[in-house]
Amino acid sequence: MAYVQRLNSRSPFYRRVDAAAYILTATLSLRIWSGHEVDDRPASATYTIAKNALTATSLEITFEFSQLIRDEFNHNRDAYDDTLSGFIDTLWVESKVVVTTSGSSQLYTTDLVLAVDGYGYFVDGINYAGTNFFTNVINNPIDKPIKLGLFAGESDDGVDTVKYYNGSVLIETDDLSSAYSSAESYDKNQYVSIIQNQIDSFKARVLADSGTYQVNTCFNTFAEAVSDNTIDTIDLIRDSVVLETITVNNIEECKYTYNTIKFYDRNGLLQQIYMFKASREKIKISKDNYNSSLYQPSTETYSVEKHQIKDYNVNGRESISLNSGWVGEEQEDVLRQVLLSEFVWVDDKPASVATSNLDYKKHINDSLINYTIDFDYANNVINDVY
């Protein structure tokens, strides 16, 4: 059976049982699995929840079960490059409800949902089902592939085609229809990328003629920008209807080495963004110490070369501060999702967001908008994994 909607497991997900007669009890059975919608369905319930009615005249019972699902996900920073079956970003969840009314039990409903590790905002209301993409503007280095995490669902949910344009010229089309109709859960989150300037760029022409391409950051950026294949808009399509158009700002940065942030967005999808300006790294040391007894009674002296105060449990944690460069107001929500993400990687290193406050900026107040975000790398400097 087709799933009825997406379930965002980081927000509450409610199932309400209504009956014409007074409800005595209701039992919810949950089956949670990854893989094929039918063939991999578990034989028995993963969780069973039983609830009694609040009063003898109750006509409804409500279940909430989103948090039971989250332990089953297995996120992966390399989702763009790995085979889709190598991680678990999506899960089938079957909810079966049996109710007892006036002493008799009967099946109330059986629903299938597709769970992702996403969330809805408060203003989105109950059981928010997700969007097509996490932003309508992306800032991408001119010399880097554009990478997108997209939801390819079914039954009027998700994207089945992606088209990349330079102006009005169609550069490439990605067909996601096989994922759209697939019964495999891991097909529903699709990670696509397109390499810009690979045909018409100066670099490509030099190499095609067996020439030697000299590495120079500023010139490379300029040379690779001179191409008919630079992507500036992307259309997300379902059933031949454009659901959303994404604007691509191609950034030329020849002074600083830009940093990559990968994170899971509000739709439970891995996304990749860049911070273009100055970065600063530092280390913070943690340690304990004790006062050592150096006195030797036999000699009635002590060594001035030894440590009276001794350190132990010494370790460190490195951090990095990143600057976005000049961005538009629309990046406010992008960075909000970075701060709210529980899975973040900076330059492919696992990290946690140290910044806990972010001032949303407006051009009318700030003219030029730059954001600074601090990250702590999610490991100690000295290996203490036991």
Closest CA to 224 of 195, 193, 202: 202
Produce one character per residue of 161-179: b if its CB has 16 or more CB atoms within 10 Å, e if not: bbbbbbeeeebeebebeeb
Confidence of residue 209 (pLDDT cuts 50, 70, 90): low
The domain in which residue 330 lies consists of 256-386
Q: Is the model's pLDDT at 1 over the cut of 90?
A: no
Q: What would the mean pLDDT of 172-177 be, rounded to a whole number?
A: 92
Residue 179: which of 161, 166, 196 has the closest Cα?
A: 161
- Residue 12 burial (CB < 10 Å; 0-12/13-18/19+)? middle
For 50-84, how does the pLDDT look when each residue is reduced to its tens digit (9 = 90+)? Answer: 998 888 888 888 999 999 999 899 998 888 876 55
Maximum Cα–Cα distance across the chain: 94
Kindly report the CATH number assigned to the domain that includes residue 84.
2.60.40
Contact 157, 6 (CB under 8 A): yes
End residue of a domain, out of 222, 252, 282: 252
Domain boundary among 252, 272, 298: 252
Output the pLDDT for position 3: 82
- Tens of pLDDT, residue by residue over 335-358, are 999 999 999 999 999 999 999 999
Query: Is pLDDT at 217 greater than 70 in this prediction?
Result: no
pLDDT of 374 reads 97
Considering the domain architecture, whether residues 227 and 261 belong to the same structural domain is answered as no
d(CA 31, CA 15): 15
The percent of residues in the chain predicted with pLDDT above 70, rounded, is: 90
Of 268, 259, 258, the closest CA to residue 341 belongs to 268
Q: Do 293 and 369 share a domain, yes or no?
A: yes
pLDDT tens digits for range 270-318? 999 999 999 999 999 999 999 999 989 888 899 899 999 999 999 999 9
Burial of 386 (0-12, 13-18, 19+ CB in 10 A): exposed
Whether residue 208 sits in one domain with residue 302: no
| Full-model pTM | 0.86
Domain end residue (candidates: 221, 252, 283):
252
Report the alpha-carbon distance of residue 136 to residue 139 in Å, rounded. 10
CA distances from 362 to 126, 151, 213, 247, 301 (A): 30, 30, 42, 19, 69
Banded model confidence at residue 225, pLDDT cuts 50, 70, 90: very low
**Summary mean pLDDT of the chain:** 88
> 260 and 237 share a domain?
no
Torsion of CA 23, 25, 26, 27, to 10 degrees: -170
What's the rounded Cα separation, in Å, for the pair 213 and 207? 7
pLDDT band at 219 (very low <50, low <70, confident <90, very high): low
Residues 70, 185, single domain; the answer is no
Residue holding tokens 């089309």?
Answer: 173
Are residues 96 and 180 both part of a single domain? Answer: no
Q: What one-character DSSP code corresponds to residue 88?
A: B
